Structure 1
Amino acid sequence: LLDGAVDAEQADPLLPDNPAALVVAVAEGPLTGIPDVRPCTLGGLDPKSAIELLTSATGSVRITVDPQAAEALVEECGGLPGAVVLAGGWLAGRPETSVADLAKRLRGLNGDPLTRTFLLAHQALPQPAARILRYLAIAPLGRADAHTASALAGCSVQAAATTLADFARLGLVSEAGDGEYEAPGHLVPLLRAQLEERDRPAEVQLARARMLERTVRLLQSCRAVTEPEGSPARRKLAGLPRALRFPTPEDAARWLASRRPALLACARLAVADGELDTLARRLIASLVRALTAHGGAEAAAPDLYGLHRLVLDVAERRGLHREQAAALLNLGDLDARTGRAKDALLRYRLAWEAGRQANDPYATGRAMESVGGSYQELGDWQRAGDWYGRALAQRLAHDERADQARLYARLGAVQTYAGRYGEALRHWRAAASGYRRLGDLPGHARALSEAARVQEYAGRPEESLRTCEEAVEWARRAQDTRLQAALQLRLADTLDRLGDPAAARLHRAAADRLLETERSAYEIRSGSAED
């Protein structure tokens, strides 16, 4: 079902390739240019169905006492369900007014049936309520809960909730569930026209700003409730008004899931506005944190990709090179995670250029390392080593020791793949020394084990054996049972190649005992947790 299709160019890419599929496209005019279209002109409801729809809002008594007036009214409504619903809501709110009187009023107005019934309903509202109704035209997806309506109109949350419920009874909005209300699509253009006619642009922009600010605070609260008790975020949360707090993480997660389409639309609209970029950036940052806190980075990745694209749009528009670099790095990470190494490489190189323009050492260092990782993923060992070397030079200049150790290890890996075993061994030993100075014993043991692998590839099995034994000892000191077992198995393989199968069996047996011990400990811990 393609509802509200504008033209054939918009609808054609959405048509499925399966010739057995049926597509129903609703449009204001014919969709010329698409083959096999069977046009069907939709008119209004027949009089009997229209009167039944009217009766559902007014009750049967007023219709029964004057059936001819009811027929005249639905005729004035053109049989359009939207107009009939508004007429029924108007009558339901005025039990003393006759059906014939409403039909007469509609005849005195200009315009199509829907416009006339809408104008009548809008004019009948108190001024504050009419203002809330008009401002629904700028709510994301035309949806609003009490918080959104309150922020748009500048009234209390309770007043907004009551007004939205009244709108639902009048047929002006429909309930979307979980406290949300939606303005019907056929009314949004009419609401927008009234907004442009009655409200000054500065007032409308202020309403947008209030809505974005309220949404940011709700998202911050949504994320903060996932933090541990006593954390700074929870202390800050306790200072918010009760209406902006979520009782439990589960309540916050349900709110986030139900509001997700509207929140994403809100971010897109804020960026498209172009005049509220500071609020737009805060909104996107808060939305990214909330989605990640409740769903994890993997589950949120499809939404995060679009949100980082929005950040990039704002950064490019405003010339914010630091934020541009951050957005490109985030996009590159998502591309790399989903196997799009060439796309990731392009993002990372652009991030490096943006980081240089911003004079941001963190962004440039991270980008250079990520460019190297992309070339490594593509099997271009020469370029990977070159970019890792650039990143390492920057880390050495800033004395960032943990990053230095990691980059030495990455250089050792690509030199190993390239078959340059002398350079690979030098880098792995530098990585091992770096991890040892940092007190990272597992890292030190792993780097030594990789050095042993390189020595074996280089045809130096005796040296490999000694290095591997040293790695086993460091893994034992680190109390990393799995790593120790893996290294025992590597020792066994090396001893087999050196022609000592008896010693190899001893090391394999030792590895089996280590793994069995770890399994037993895990089972005991699991049993205790269940008890």
Structure 2
Amino acid sequence: MARKTATMDPGSGAPAGTVPGLERLPAGPALFTGRRAELAALRAAAARPVSGRCPVLVLAGRPGSGRTALAARFARTVAADHPDGVLFARLSAPDGGRVPPGRAARLLLEQLDPQAAVPLPGAVEDGRDEPGCVALREALVGRRVLLVLDDVRDAGQVWPLLADEPGCLVLATTAGPLTGIEDIDPVILGGLDRQASGELLADLVGGTRISCDPVGGADLAEACAAGPAALRLMAGWLRGDPKIAVTDAARELNRVVGEENSAAAATAPEEETPRKRQQRPARKQPSDPSREPSPEPSRDSARDSVRDSVRKKEGEQAAEPVPEAAGDPSTWVKPGPEPAEPVPVPDNDPLLGAFTLVYRTLPPAQARMLRMLTLAPAQTADPRTASALVGCPAPEAAATLAALAERELLGEEAAAADGTPRYRVPGRLYPRLVRLREREDRPAETELARARLLERLVRLTESARALLDPAAGPAPEPLPAALRLRSAAHARGWLLGERELLLGAVADAIGQGDLDGSAGRLVTALLRTLPLTGEAAPADLYRLHELVLTVAERHGRPRRASAALLNLGDLQVGAGRWEQAAAHYRAALEHARTADDEPLCARALEAAAGCHRALGDSVRAADWYGRALGLRQSLGDHAAEARLLARVAEAHTAQRRFDEADREYRAALAVLRRLGDERGREAVGAALADLRERVDGGW
């Protein structure tokens, strides 16, 4: 059935496409109904005058409440008020992993200005003083930017990103209240109202089918607790079988939810944790005859749950004084609790009951594809990666992805640079799909799917390198036509558009530790290829070399670990972080000694000496240069010997040890004369002449 186009809410027309960054927002559902009151509340909060830091708007709701879709909808309505751009970042992975604010800040910085120098990660990526957070706040001053932060876990992820710029606006979505940040009045999302639920079902299923059974439509909305995600899944189930009556759909959903409640009760331990007790549906006490038993959850139960949590937190903090200095960053955040755990979808939620119904009707190939997509980097896939995960041709994978999206089981992401559609496993379904994969797919099949994905990414990256630099070496075996990168421009766009996913794939593989060979080949391919784009961020290269170091240390390869540490130190030098670079070089020296690799030792000694020289410690610089010099002389590396003799002379000069400096310069000249290096002799001779002139002048 052809799906109808939803009517926009009044006042929510999309702004002109001149605001940069709108394409980064999640595409959202094609049909959007209701939420007029919530949109009005957000608009009113955004119009409230502020001073000091940028204002923060919060959308709070349980998984499946449509908070991300509403945030993207609202962002498009106010984007025209922020002409400097719209930035978007997810601060949680579907598996509940918490994205540190430093990593989010670097991603936002790249979106704000792709040409900007993004700082390298600090030792800890949390906190307001993290280099990426500092750079982002500085870059936002004087600009009018809208930052959309999706699926925030705790206030500690947000407050390091808040600039002292009231012209910016932050919109955060979360499963619960962000306790700690001042001046936040969250907009709480519960179920849709009766009219919006009916409109959504009519648009998705077909107006005639719903209008012929209005009672069944109301029953189905009630069974879904009027949750947008559950309604969409049930609509997809109904579209899949035109013979099913709407009333039967509501009855079937209640039956499945009841089965899951019984199964959960049968497997629950005798003693429940506080978290499980909170997730358990409220039950009527037998001694209260005034209440009717009602197994179906209320439409506003999610809204009431979040609102009660907010009120409780506000009551706990009511006695704390309100800061007076709005512009003082130390007053923006109260001491808050530890980072919150991810809010799961309870097993008795209608959302999972609806998913169970839809999943049972899927053809085996589609069900397997859906399970395997939980292995995709960031749970986001296009036909190239999906075909690798299940081992099918790319056109077949594209058709399967489209079919799953039609059943409301996948969310549509912004298309790739070449127009390739991209899809994402919703975080609300991820835990259930992982359990299904672990139960229905053998571990060997899962490992094979992961290995195929890594090898596919290696081949794509190597083919991109061959297109960007044909002289770099022989091109890999051509990929099938549907997967092939067609030109250098296509290869560059693919690399830059998929960079975060590629880095995530490597990090996931190395984190699990069972596919280090394939992951290592992908790291090598990325290190060779990303610089060819002209926009390789040092922070990305830093992450890759850290992964190389992890694998090398895991497998006891000190020579490779030393090389990775040297590369990390070089990146720190490029950022002007001399002390951090020196620490990396010293660690590289230890690994090189373990490997008994004298050239690596000399390289580490010379690099560390350069850091001491840059820090103004000429004594230690002379010592480390001298140690490197001894190694180079023993290796017979005369060019390096001459260079180090000149460096030692410079360090002696800085200590006003002019006789020693004169001697080292003359020794360097002698070596260069034997090598026949006239240019080097001229440079060292000029330095020696300058030294003698200064000494003669009484310097």
In the superposition, the TM-score normalised over structure 2's length comes to 0.61
Distance 1:249 1:17, change over 3 A: closer
Task: Report what 2:543 is aligned to.
Answer: 306
Residue pair 1:432, 1:444 contacting (<8 A) in 2 also: yes
2:512 to 265, 273, 289: 273
Tell whether 2:281 aligns with 1:42.
no
1:91 aligns with 2:330: no
**1:4 alignment partner, SS class:** strand
Instruction: Find the aligned partners of 1:458 and 1:137 in 2 and give their Cα distance.
Output: 71
Q: 1:407 to 1:224 in 2, by over 3 A?
A: farther
- Aligned-pair CA distance for 1:301: 0.4
Contact 1:385 1:415 in 2 (8 A): yes
Following the alignment from structure 1 to structure 2, what is the Cα–Cα distance between the partners of residues 150 and 3?
Answer: 28
Q: Match of 2:650?
A: 413
Q: CA deviation at 1:36?
A: 6.1
Name the SS of the counterpart of 1:185 in structure 2: coil
Q: Given the alignment of the two structures, is residue 253 of structure 1 paired with residue 495 of structure 2, yes or no? A: no
2:595 corresponds to which letter in structure 1?
A
Query: Match for residue 207 of structure 1?
Result: 449
Give TM-score, length-normalised by structure 1. Answer: 0.78
The answer to whether the Cα contact below 8 Å between 1:136 and 1:191 also exists between their aligned partners in 2 is no
- The aligned residue for residue 289 of structure 1 is 528
Distance in 2, Cα, partners of 1:317 & 1:268: 14
Shift of residue 92, structure 1, vs aligned partner: 2.9
Q: Which residue of the partner structure matches residue 597 of structure 2?
A: 360
CA deviation vs aligned residue, 1:249-299 (integer Å, no higher than 9, x gap): 211111011111211211221121122222222222222222222135xx4
Cα 1:55–1:257 change in 2 (3 A) is farther
2:359 counterpart residue number = 122
1:15–1:402 distance in 2 versus 1, CA, 3 Å: closer
The C-alpha deviation readout for 1:383-402, integer Å capped at 9, x for no partner, is: 21221122122222222233
Matches within 5 A, 1:123-162: 123-162=360-399
AA partner of residue 54 (structure 1):
L
Deviations 1:324-375 (A, max 9, x none): 2112111111222212111111111111001110122232121011011011
Tell me whether 83-92 or 210-219 shows the greater mean CA deviation.
83-92
Secondary structure of the corresponding residue to residue 419 of structure 1: coil
Residue 695 of structure 2: aligned partner = 458
Alignment identity in percent?
Answer: 44
Shifted more, 77-86 versus 11-20: the winner is 11-20
Contact 1:223 1:294 in 2 (8 A): no
Query: C-alpha displacement at 1:40, in angstroms?
Result: 5.6
Q: Any idea what the Cα deviations from partners look like across 1:452-477, whole Å, max 9, x if unmatched? A: 2122122189xxxxxxxxxxxxxxxx
Alpha-carbon distance in 1 for matches of 2:662, 2:404: 74
Q: Which of residues 166, 189, 197 is equivalent to 2:431?
A: 189
Q: Compare relative contact order (CA 8 Å, sep 6+) and give the higher one, 1 or 2.
A: 2
- 1:316 Cα offset (Å): 2.5
Counterpart secondary structure, 1:458: helix
Tell me whether 1:332 sits opposite 2:566 in the alignment: no
Opposite residue 140 of structure 1, the aligned amino acid is: P
Please state whether the residue corresponding to 2:468 is helix, strand or coil: coil
Q: Kindly tell me: are residues 396 and 94 of structure 1, through their superposed partners in 2, closer, same or farther at Cα, counting changes over 3 Å?
A: same
Listed as ranges, the gaps of 5+ residues in structure 2 are 1-147, 258-347
Displacement of 1:442 in angstroms is: 3.1
How far has the Cα of 1:23 moved from its partner?
A: 6.3
Question: Between Structure 1 and Structure 2, whose CA radius of gyration is higher?
Answer: 1
Residue by residue over 1:37-56, the C-alpha shift from the partner in whole angstroms, topping out at 9 and shown as x without a partner, is 65664311112112222333
Q: 1:23 to 1:249 in 2, by over 3 A?
A: closer
Structural RMSD (CA)? 2.7
The whole-number CA distance in structure 1 between the counterparts of 2:171 and 2:649 is 59
Write 1 or 2 for the structure with the bigger share of helix. 1
Q: Residue 302 and residue 12 in structure 1: after superposition, are their counterparts in 2 closer, same or farther (change >3 A)?
A: closer
Distance in 2 of aligned mates of 1:23 and 1:406:
53
Name the aligned partner's letter for residue 205 of structure 2: T
Q: Is the 8 A contact 2:468 2:492 kept in 1?
A: no
Change (3 A) 1:65 1:353: same
Aligned length: 455
Paired residue type of 2:446: V
